[in-house]
Amino acid sequence: MLVAMKAVIPAAGWGVRFLPLTKEQPKEMLPVIDKPVIQYVVEEAAAAGIGDIIIITGRHKRTIEDHFDRSFELESILRNGNRKALLDSISGLHELADLHYIRQHEQRGLGDAVYRARHHVGNEPFAVMLGDTIHVSEVPVVKQLMQVHARTGRAVIAAERVPGEKVKDYGVLDAVRMEDRLYDVKDLVEKPRPEEAPSDLCIAGTYVLTPGIFECLERTEPGYNGEVQLTDALRLLREKEGLLAWEFVGKRYDIGDIPGWLSAQLELALKHPVYGERLRERIKELDRKEHFL
């Protein structure tokens, strides 16, 4: 039986890798086809049965709250204009889950952002879903982790193999395989230098954690980049309670920088049931004229 749990979505970072685009708008609101990135994340949580979501926000992040609010005026315009599909695309957003917002007043890192949620989460296991990760999978990736947690009682993080040159951009795992896709984590290191990376198995941005993480976060000093890193607190949690990693089934799009965002847009647009065909035709046409492929 899956235990109902809350999810924390940290969405307070500056988004510096997207400047100037994110100077005044949150990177979590960047569009991917017709939805902002964070809507995919909230939809994944809702699809996993998570009904209570805490979004950690900060300055310049107010449009996130507005996006999930009801807009009676816009709904009535669409209703009166008989624009049902568009109406449907916005009218249920506020019902996806109970959304709560906690502001991180100072950007002290991912670990600190998660720590802000401690009072709301309480003494229960909970999910952490980064606000810039989109998954395409049959079973929501967060649900896969909830299933592992349900049968082991341990904290578990989603992991993915990453090409060599990209490993330095991730938290990296030293882990021993226990069974198909399941690993016992021995150590973790945040954004190691290539020669120091323990493997190519990386932290993929979705976690199911036990409440013990909060005490670990209290003991965690600023690390990589002068920020309180969740990865460093997870090392302490591992010592205390053990830690698992799950090589998830599905595909992950990391909207963490401009190349990642552009390729997610392209790939998802090409597969899109409404826009895919036209885009493919357009690309072929451009290639015929300009031979850019």
Q: Which residues bind ligand G1P (CB under 6 A)?
A: 110, 130, 170-171, 190, 202-205, 229-231, 254, 256
User: Which amino acid type is present at position 15?
Assistant: G
Q: In terms of CB distance, is 97 or 255 closer to ligand G1P?
A: 255
Kindly report each contact of residues 68-72 with a partner whose C-beta sits within 8 Å and lies 24 or more positions away, as own/partner.
68/42, 68/93, 68/94, 68/96, 68/99, 69/93, 69/94, 70/94
Task: Return the closest-CA partner of residue 207 out of 37, 4, 7.
Answer: 7
Q: How far is the CB of 224 from ligand G1P (least distance, A)?
A: 8
Q: In terms of CB distance, is 58 or 205 closer to ligand G1P?
A: 205
Q: In terms of CB distance, is 12 or 78 closer to ligand G1P?
A: 12
Distance (Å) of CA 201 to CA 32, 157, 162, 189: 27, 11, 7, 11
Q: In terms of CB distance, is 204 or 216 closer to ligand G1P?
A: 204
The residue ranges of DSSP E strands in the chain, in sequence order, are: 6-10, 31-32, 35-36, 52-57, 98-103, 126-129, 133-136, 155-161, 171-179, 182-190, 201-209, 243-247, 251-254
Q: How far is the CB of 4 from ligand G1P (least distance, A)?
A: 25
Q: In terms of CB distance, is 53 or 189 closer to ligand G1P?
A: 189
Q: In terms of CB distance, is 140 or 190 closer to ligand G1P?
A: 190
* H or E stretch covering 145: helix 141-152
Q: How far is the CB of 172 from ligand G1P (least distance, A)?
A: 8
Q: How far is the CB of 254 from ligand G1P (least distance, A)?
A: 5
Of all residues in the shown chain, the one whose CB is closest to ligand G1P is: 171
Mark 268-289 as b/e (b = at least 16 C-beta within 10 Å): bbeeeeeeeeeeeeeeeeeeee
Q: How far is the CB of 68 from ligand G1P (least distance, A)?
A: 22
Q: How far is the CB of 159 from ligand G1P (least distance, A)?
A: 9
